[in-house]
Structure formats: C-alpha cells, structure tokens
Structure 1
Amino acid sequence: MNDLSEADNIAQVAQHLQQAQRVLFITGAGLSADSGLPTYRGIGGLYQQQDTEDQVPIEVALSYGMLRTHPALTWKYLLQIEQACRGVGYNRGHEVIAKLAQDKEVWVLTQNIDGFHHAAGSPNLIEIHGRLQHIHCMSCKHKEVWPDFSHLQLENLPPVCPACGGILRPAVVLFGEMLSPLETLSLTQQVQQGFDIVFSVGTSSLFPYIVAPVLEAKHDGVPTVEINPGKTEISNAVDYRLRNRAAKILDDIWNTWKQMS
C-alpha cells in the first residue's frame, strides 16, 4: 500500500485499468449499502441487538438447520430482509462495473444476494452466495423467479411448492451450508486464467475464497485495489487503498479512465 492522496491513487488505478484486458471485481455489502440497503448488524442494521425477537441470533435464524426444523421462522426473517430491500435498485457503482464490461472482459465475484449486478447489466457474474429472487423446492426440481416477496403473508409461512407441496426456499447460501459447486468451479477457472487488475469493493474480506484472489494477484505482481471506508484483513496487502464510499470511488475511477481513453 502507498501513501499517495486519494486523487493520485485514483489516477494510478485508472492508468492500470486502461492497460488491463481482464478485470476482477470482488464486491460485498458495502457496494449495495450505497443503494440504501441495510446491513444485518451495526448502526442502522436490521438486527443491531445480539438476538432477534425470537431470542436467537440472526445467523441461527438464517441457518440451514433452522430451515429444516423450523422453516416458518427462517422464512420470517427472509421476508423481513426482503421487505427492507424492496423497491431499492442498483447504484452508480454497479453501473460503472457493468459499463466497463462493454470495453473489457470484466468478472464479478459478489457476496451479495440482491441481484443488482445482474440488473445493472454485468454479464460475467459469480454469485457465490446465490440470489434471493431465485426460488426452488426442497423436495422436487420445481423452480420460480420472484420479483419480490410481496405475495407472502407472515401467517402463511413457509411457502409451499405448487408441484409437490414441499417447502420452497431461495437459492441463497444459508449459514451452515456449502457454497455452490458450480459457482466455486467458475471462480477457480477464472482465477487460474489470471487477471490484469483485481478490485475488492465494499467487503470486509473475512472469507478465504474472497481473500484468496486478491492475495494471489498480489503475489503474481498484478495491481490490487481495495475500496472500503474501514480497514479489513487485506488493507495492508493491497497496492491501492481507497477509503471512501464504493459508488463515489468507482465513479471517480470511471471519469478519470474515460479522460485517459
């Protein structure tokens, strides 16, 4: 990491971006927070206290074990999260990443389940934690896509499959579940091909599969960039650390890059 000003760092990142052909963006909750999405915890979070109103941590309520044994409770909190996000859309940060994909081969590895990268038009997505709007049955192969959960009522949870009567669930990775093998394979294949620059945007970088592409790029001499107001596990390892809101910094990088083009 260097000690340049934010403007100088942005200029250097834009210069690297100009020369790059393959770009990786790793995105987390900090990017969607600029759309107004709440986090689970922290100031302004949905669940600032240790436990939910049902006296269990949100991580337990949103676990695979709870879904199997008390599906109505898990769905109660899935519905709360979806209600808090309803009507919110992608922001300028998502737009910038999608626009870059019109000029370069851009891949997005995202922890977010909101589908904003897809809606913004990014073509190469690795949604490692799934997407909330994709619904499937736990008992058969039935699948649906729900724009939102407005048709659900608390007293009628969990929703059931119209084909077999089994319990429906969103195609997201709950606590205690394994990652999707298909998404994991896609990530491995793309990292093996290598990238010309790697961005970590709005993620606390707590999971090994989120950290590894950054550290591997750094080891290979590939420029690495972190966009995050706070300090994370990779902050001291990256070449460029931009401590500001994701949407603002990405827009600044876009504008600087366009001036160079």
Structure 2
Amino acid sequence: MRMRPTLSWTPTGDLPPGTVDLGPVTEALRAGGVLVLSGAGISTESGIPDYRGEHGSLSRHTPMTYQEFTASARARRRYWGRSHLGWRTFGRARPNHGHRALAAFERHGLIAGVITQNVDGLHQAAGSEGVVELHGSLERVVCLSCHDRSPRRELARRLEEANPDFEPTAAAINPDGDADLTDEQVGHFHVVPCTVCGGVLKPDVVFFGESVPPSRVEECRRLVREAASLLVLGSSLTVMSGLRFVRQAAEAQKPVLIINRDPTRGDQHAVTRVELPLGAALTSVAERLEIPPDGAVA
C-alpha cells in the first residue's frame, strides 16, 4: 500500500512564492495517488496557444458563448467557418514531453487519473487512459436535437465537400480550435446539419456560458475524494470549473501542488507553485523517479 505524501498543509491563506524546486512534486508522485488537473498551459508546447498569460488568446479573442451559438444561424456559420479552418491546424498537434511524462506516470501507477480542462485530446494521444474531459472534446460533435454524437473527422469531410473553395488565411489559432477570421471571410460558408435528424450540430465541448454536466462534475469530485494529492498543471484556475476541485482538495487537507509559470487563483491553497516550463519540469521529475523516457515500465 502506498503512503500518502508527507507534505505539510497549512491553510494560512498566504500565497506561496514561486519556486523552481521540483522536490515536493517528485515526492508526491513517488508516494502515488496523485490526481492531475491540467489546463491549456500543458498544450502550448504542442503549438496550441493558452487563453491567458502574457500571450494568451483572450487578449485578442472572445470565445463564442453557448447562448450566442444556439440563438443565431449567422453566429453558427461564423463559428463553424472559423472552427473548420482551425481544425486543420489543431488536428495536426501532437503530444509533447509533458503529455508523455504523465502517460508514463500512469503506467507506473503513480497517478490516480487526469482531469483535463483541455479539448484537444492530447493526453489520450500520448497514451493516458484515465482521463476525464471536463470541458468535452473537439474530436466529437453532438446534435442539439436528437443528441446523436459523431466523429469530428466525419463532419470535417462533409464541410470540405460543402465548401470546396474555402481557403482563407487565419491571423491565429485559439485554444478552442477557433481560427481568427473576419466576418467577410466566413460570410458564404455553408453549415451542414445532423445526418440523423437534420438538427443543429455543435462541437461536443462546454462553451463559455454553458455548464459542465453534473454527472461529470460528480465524477471529478469522486476522484478528488479518492486521491492522495492534487497536481495542477498549466492552469490559471481563473474559472470555477477547475478551481472548485482545488478548493475541495484543500478543504479535505490534501496537498495541492501547482506547476504554472504565472500566479494562479488557487495559489493560496497550494503547498508549492513551480515556475518552470511543463515539458522540462515533468521530464525532470520522470528522471528523478527513474522512469524511462519512452514511458515503458521497467
């Protein structure tokens, strides 16, 4: 039986200073039972931008809300035109050293699961199996009428056929797979309906202004209850969907550890916040734990 990490937890409310010391993270993983909460920062090294931070996309891009998407055919045309172009780039992203290190930790029985706020599927592509996609996945689409779910690649094929001359140039690609295009660039984009009932298709992700399904939240709360500690990777914890699990862990007096280059909304609950690039940090931890780079179990 693995012992819980011997990390101190003092609910003083004081913010821990940023550090480059990976010792507490290494020891928590060595003890096992670590639940990971990942955010957009773990995917930046795969070429997918972050929402926040110095170069975050929110400084120039406002994601479409659920209310806007469902209320307006024009908004849906704008969304799908931008998302279709973004998917071409987004779909080419590959797991980085951070994703692969987490998959290796899982294979060695060190982590209890991954809750990811990301919609890019890169944890699974790296080999992680115990992943809860808190905000859904861009790999799927769902019909708002009949609730049929289908692969995004199939929708991409249909959109290609319906828009053979759609070749605009995007200013940037955002963390939700949305490309920065003008209204003029998407003005003649043709949206296709659900093949089952003819209804409106939506990516199977939680939009801004939309709630995470209660059953998914409860699954995550269960994982927090059963974990020995919580490791936050690449998330500012600005939105409550992720911060609530940090608060839950802290209230249960379970150590919260954070690796993020910038301060986060959860720092007051953390025993440490490491200010290092995630790929390098997790690779270093793997080396300290003598886990082979390829993730194979020795």
Pairwise TM-score range, normalised by the shorter structure: 0.7 to 0.9
The answer for the alignment partner of 2:101 in structure 1 is 96
The answer for the alignment partner of 1:244 in structure 2 is 276
SS in structure 1 at match of 2:142: strand
SS in structure 1 at match of 2:267: coil
8 Å CA contact 1:64, 1:176 repeated in 2: yes
2:134 partner amino acid: I
SS in structure 1 at match of 2:113: strand
Consecutive unaligned residues of structure 1, counting only runs of 5 or more, are 51-57
Q: Does 1:138 align with 2:171?
A: no
Query: Partners in 2 of 1:47 and 1:221 — Cα distance?
Result: 33
TM-score for the superposition, normalised by structure 1? 0.83
TM-score for the superposition, normalised by structure 2? 0.74
**Aligned to 1:65, which of 64, 67, 82?**
67
8 Å CA contact 1:198, 1:217 repeated in 2: yes
1:241 partner amino acid: R
How far 1:176 sits from its partner (Å)? 1.5
8 Å CA contact 2:17, 2:273 repeated in 1: no
SS in structure 2 at match of 1:198: strand
SS in structure 2 at match of 1:74: helix
How far 1:41 sits from its partner (Å)? 6.6
How far 1:250 sits from its partner (Å)? 0.9
How far 1:66 sits from its partner (Å)? 2.0
SS in structure 2 at match of 1:112: coil
1:86-128, CA deviations, whole angstroms, 9 ceiling, x for partnerless residues?
A: 3111111111111111122421111100011121121111211
Percent of aligned positions with the same letter in both sequences? 26
Query: Partners in 2 of 1:167 and 1:66 — Cα distance?
Result: 13
Query: Partners in 1 of 2:263 and 2:17 — Cα distance?
Result: 15
Query: Partners in 2 of 1:188 and 1:221 — Cα distance?
Result: 15
8 Å CA contact 2:81, 2:189 repeated in 1: no
Consecutive unaligned residues of structure 2, counting only runs of 5 or more, are 1-14, 167-187, 292-297
How far 1:244 sits from its partner (Å)? 1.4
Q: Does 1:24 align with 2:32?
A: no
Query: Partners in 2 of 1:241 and 1:4 — Cα distance?
Result: 5
Over aligned residue pairs, what C-alpha RMSD do you find? 2.6
Distance 1:140 1:199, change over 3 A: same
1:74 partner amino acid: Y
Query: Partners in 2 of 1:4 and 1:35 — Cα distance?
Result: 24
Distance 1:207 1:40, change over 3 A: closer
> Aligned residue pairs: how many?
247
